[in-house]
Amino acid sequence: MKDKQILITGASSGIGKETARALGNLGAHIFFTGRHREKDLNIQEELRQDTGNPDIYYYHCDLASFESITAFTSEFKKSYKALDILINNAGIWNSKKVLTRDGIESHLAVNYLAPFLMTSQLLPLLKNSPSARIINLTSGIHFRGKLDLDDLEFNRRKWRSIDAYTQSKLCNILFTRSLAGKLIGTNISVNCIAPGWVNTGLFRDAVQVVKISASLLAMSPMKAARGLVHLAAAGELEDVSGEYFAGMNIRKSSPASYDRQLSDKLWKKSEEYLKDYI
Ligand SMILES: NC(=O)c1ccc[n+]([C@@H]2O[C@H](COP(=O)([O-])OP(=O)(O)OC[C@H]3O[C@@H](n4cnc5c(N)ncnc54)[C@H](OP(=O)(O)O)[C@@H]3O)[C@@H](O)[C@H]2O)c1
């Protein structure tokens, strides 16, 4: 990992922060994005001190805004010509239906469309690496996800946080598989990972019983980060692409996540959403 250039979205807490710390410890150059400048600059300092690695840099980027993502990638592309690893980690689980600044249901926008846009805009830099990897965060709970291409934002279906979240995580896998197909023969691999149940801020909005069970039963973010580090660093994964990892291991994902027609249609829909930005 020494001197590899790695971008991690959402490293201000949870799994992203511990992954940044672990990869920083291995000597990588870490760039992480966050939406709260002051807090995130403190985290930049904390990670530099803890790892003894000065090459850890914070960039402002609000993933709930396509404009903010575009502003970030434009700035990043001015400073760097190559990127070795992109980890699309940031995610949300909201208890209420919230629309982003772009007017889009927040789980769809932040958990799915944001990684799609970030990846599309950074592909030229990934192509300039001798061997690049993209890692998308999904979840084991995607098995419950139902994708309705005519109602991605739950305008016709009743909105429930679990349904919006699981749909977005199913989208992450379909995106990973489509992209892997498009990247065959290039220097870039793309895989997704379900880290397991992890005690993080993801549940900050959840009912008390979920928060308490997470604090008692879920694994630590540090342990979950091992799966991401493995995907980023393991030499034997060099040619592995389009796979679903549960922690360290390749596993079968839900039947819907292998549906080629569904993933093609989702890709087209995503491009429509993002037509002004890609
Ligand atoms: N925890 C689990 O059990 C679990 C299980 C399966 C999958 N996952 C996935 O793992 C990933 C990481 O989640 P986590 O569990 O580590 O949760 P977390 O501690 O809440 O971390 C989420 C990160 O995403 C950032 N983020 C959220 N909305 C953002 C926005 N609009 N713009 C920029 N950054 C934003 C957060 O920043 P702020 O600090 O500013 O909010 C935070 O850094 C997510 O994709 C999640 O779906 C988690």
Query: End-to-end CA distance of the chain, in Å?
Result: 30
**pLDDT given at position 209:** 84
Q: In this predicted structure, what is the pLDDT of residue 203? A: 86
User: What pLDDT, on a 0 to 100 scale, did the predictor assign at position 3?
Assistant: 86
- Residues ≥6 apart with Cβ < 8 Å to 178: 263, 264, 266, 267
The best mutation among 200, 231, 245 to test binding of ligand 1, ranked by most ligand atoms within 8 Å of the C-beta, falls on: 200
What is the full per-residue pLDDT of the chain (278 aa) written as tens digits? 888 999 999 999 999 999 999 999 999 999 999 999 999 999 999 999 999 999 999 999 999 999 999 999 999 999 999 999 999 999 999 999 999 999 999 999 999 999 999 999 999 999 999 999 999 999 999 999 999 999 999 999 999 999 999 999 999 999 999 999 999 999 999 999 999 999 999 988 888 888 888 888 999 999 999 999 999 999 999 999 999 999 999 999 999 999 999 999 999 999 999 999 99
Q: Could you tell me whether strands 29-34 and 244-246 are parallel, antiparallel, or unpaired per DSSP bridges?
A: unpaired
List of residues 6+ apart from 131 with CB closer than 8 A: 84, 187, 238
Using CA atoms, how far apart are residues 243 and 248, in angstroms rounded to an integer? Answer: 12
Q: How many angstroms from the chain centroid is the CA of residue 180?
A: 15
| pTM given for the model | 0.98
Cα(202) to centroid(ligand 1), Å: 6
Domains of the chain: 5-273 (3.40.50.720)
pLDDT score recorded for residue 206 = 80
Phi, psi of 90 (to 5 degrees): -55, 145
Distances (CA, A) of 115 to 66, 108, 188, 240: 11, 10, 16, 20
Please, are residues 163 and 146 in contact by the beta-carbon 8 Å criterion?
Answer: yes
Residue 141's pLDDT is: 96
Rounded to the nearest angstrom, the gap between the alpha carbon of residue 261 and the centroid of all alpha carbons in its chain is 23
What's the pLDDT at 140?
Answer: 97
Ligand 1 site: residues with CB under 6 angstroms? 10, 12-16, 34-36, 62-64, 89-92, 110, 137, 139, 194-195, 197-198, 200-202, 218, 221
- Active-site choice (58, 59, 112, 165): 165
